[in-house]
Structure 1
Amino acid sequence: MKQKIVAILVLGLLLSGCTTSKPTQSNHKVQVVVSSFIGYDLATNIGKDIIDVKNITPWGSELHNFEPTAKDMVQIDEADLFIFLSEELETWTSSSAHKKQSLDLSESFTLVEHDDENDQGVGHVHVAKHDHEDHASLHFWVDPTTYMQLIDAVCERLVEVDKEHQSAYEANAKAYKDEIASLHQEFSNYIYKQEDPTIFFAGHNAMDAFSSRYHINIVSLSEQFKPDADVTAKQLETLKEAIVEYQAKDVFTEELVEPRVATLIKETLQQEHYEIEILELHGYHNISKEQAQKGVTYADLFKQNIENIKQALSN
């Protein structure tokens, strides 16, 4: 009899243990799937360890050529929130774009009007319509005044999905916005004091919205230049001559690509006893696996861009 009682007690304890180990609704993490580094950066800096974030675009890969797998699409459908850049840039999102759990970042901001006298950006109330066929609006996130609005948009959607953690989401969003706003303010003040700030870019110029915000003249090979496109001898010669004429000491290249064009220009100028340095102007399309492991953020890359531009303009 005693053996039966002990057996029943043990069985009860085992069943109790199994029951309490099951995940409950209260400890369920919000599942967020994102299409790019931008969505990942926004979600992780606002949600931090409260949420689980899955970026379906592999680290270090080319954003423009990405195509999701069937598994990726299942993850999107099952997610509590799916964050993507735009249907225009990511045409594969069309089947998921208008679902309740989807957030289209290209529809989540209004363009802050520029002040040609002293564009501080933060706090402006004027709004200008953004044209989605324009190259600048295609890469809208490179303008930090836009990015701060994207932080608000993601925070709002996370609160809708998970009201329980509203205060944490809002505190994290404010802290991240303040960090970017501080960098923006400092850089605006610096650029305002520069006469004809001009830099030279040997790559796919996706920084139109950035250059427009800060009134920086970015001289590039071609506005239509693609990362894997062949360049003509005339384009190279024109950019090389412009660098020498301006007496620039640096040429910029984009992230995550072999800087073959910038290297060719540098080597050609070296033959003419003219030295230049190659710097990176990051367009935030994606980051490397190593950068992802280190937790590199949009704010980190913005700061890096500021430092590199300051170096170029100080020479």
Structure 2
Amino acid sequence: DGTEPHEFEPKASDMMRVKDSKVFIYNGMGMERWAPEMLKSMKDGPVAVVASKGIDPIRLTDKDEIKEHGDFDPHVWLGPEEARKEAKNIADALAAASPENKEYFEKNYEKLDKDLTAMTEEYKKKLSTGHSKELVAGHAAFGYLCRDFGLTQASVEDAFASGEPSPAKLADIIDFCKKHNVKTIFTEDMISPALTETISKEAGAKVETLDTIESGEQDANYVKTMKENLEKIDKGLALN
């Protein structure tokens, strides 16, 4: 909790917790580059599931980012359509680890599936008319969300929030905001707000914080949190 997830590395105690568990769920797509090697080192490890298995990935384009982190944007859980597929992968893994509870896991998945479908349809309708289609973010974490709702993402930092953006990059984002009449720039709790605040002043836009569900907040509920995010996006992209 409280650790930038792109920079997390497991301690020996973390590895022991994984070894002693029945199921180990990880996102994949380069989010936990340490996970495959860790699992290989465990002879009698847990049932392991890559939650993003089978999801159509968004490919990264920056050569340095690809070299350091791999080919794909890992933020699949922020797209409701992708989150539903992740949930199915997780439900199947839980059923494999505990076959006697398969029906329980399937019922929970079916409820989540219905909730996600209803939420997605609601916000597709809201965002389809009378809204800007350009979502400007401090960190490129919303590619799958944008794909699900027909939006275009522009960001200050790349998908893995690594390094400082150049003055030319900042100038490009400010120009983009002015060109597309961007009224809201979205940031998040886990990154420094300084850059987005600078851009918002230059572009004449306000700043709104979205929850990327990475900080380990207690009692967080996925559907509730995503509805709150989408409500902020709905208001931030609404055209006057």
Q: TM-score, normalised by structure 2?
A: 0.81
The 3 A distance-change label for structure 1 pair 313 and 213 is: same
Once residues 87 and 244 of structure 1 are traced to their aligned partners in structure 2, the CA distance between those partners, rounded to angstroms, is: 33
Matched to 2:75, the amino acid is H
Aligned to 1:220: 155
Does the CA-based 8 Å contact 1:86-1:105 persist in structure 2?
yes
Aligned to 2:66: none
Aligned to 2:215: 287
Alignment equivalent of 1:260, drawn from 194, 202, 205: 194
**1:150 offset after TM fit, Å?**
1.6
Does the CA-based 8 Å contact 1:253-1:259 persist in structure 2?
yes
Matched to 1:135, the amino acid is F
Aligned to 1:151: 87
After TM superposition, list the pairs within 5 Å mapping 1:52-71 onto structure 2. Answer: 59-71=1-13
**1:141 offset after TM fit, Å?**
2.3
Alignment equivalent of 2:133, drawn from 169, 191, 197: 197
After TM superposition, list the pairs within 5 Å mapping 1:8-19 onto structure 2. Answer: none
**1:158 offset after TM fit, Å?**
1.5
After TM superposition, list the pairs within 5 Å mapping 1:68-217 onto structure 2. Answer: 68-86=10-28, 88-97=30-39, 101-107=47-53, 109-111=54-56, 134-136=71-73, 138-194=74-130, 197-201=133-137, 203-217=138-152
The 3 A distance-change label for structure 1 pair 134 and 265 is: same
Does the CA-based 8 Å contact 2:19-2:46 persist in structure 1?
no
Matched, 1:310 2:239: no
Once residues 296 and 313 of structure 1 are traced to their aligned partners in structure 2, the CA distance between those partners, rounded to angstroms, is: 25
**1:93 offset after TM fit, Å?**
1.0
Does the CA-based 8 Å contact 1:97-1:103 persist in structure 2?
no
Does the CA-based 8 Å contact 2:132-2:238 persist in structure 1?
no
Does the CA-based 8 Å contact 2:22-2:46 persist in structure 1?
no
**1:225 offset after TM fit, Å?**
6.6
Root mean square deviation of aligned Cα: 2.6
**1:191 offset after TM fit, Å?**
2.4
Matched to 1:305, the amino acid is N
Alignment equivalent of 1:242, drawn from 176, 186, 197: 176
Deviations 1:217-270 (A, max 9, x none): 122235x3753522333322332233233332211113322211011223445x
Identity, in percent, stands at: 18
- Number of paired residues? 226
Structure 1: unaligned runs, 5 residues or longer: 1-58, 112-128
Structure 2: unaligned runs, 5 residues or longer: 61-69
Deviations 1:40-89 (A, max 9, x none): xxxxxxxxxxxxxxxxxxx1211111111111111111111111112732
Aligned to 1:278: 207
Q: Which moved more, 1:246-255 or 1:71-80?
A: 246-255
Once residues 173 and 37 of structure 2 are traced to their aligned partners in structure 1, the CA distance between those partners, rounded to angstroms, is: 42
Matched to 1:77, the amino acid is K
Once residues 162 and 190 of structure 2 are traced to their aligned partners in structure 1, the CA distance between those partners, rounded to angstroms, is: 12
**1:195 offset after TM fit, Å?**
5.9
The 3 A distance-change label for structure 1 pair 165 and 74 is: same
The 3 A distance-change label for structure 1 pair 153 and 135 is: closer
Matched, 1:229 2:157: no
Q: TM-score, normalised by structure 1?
A: 0.64
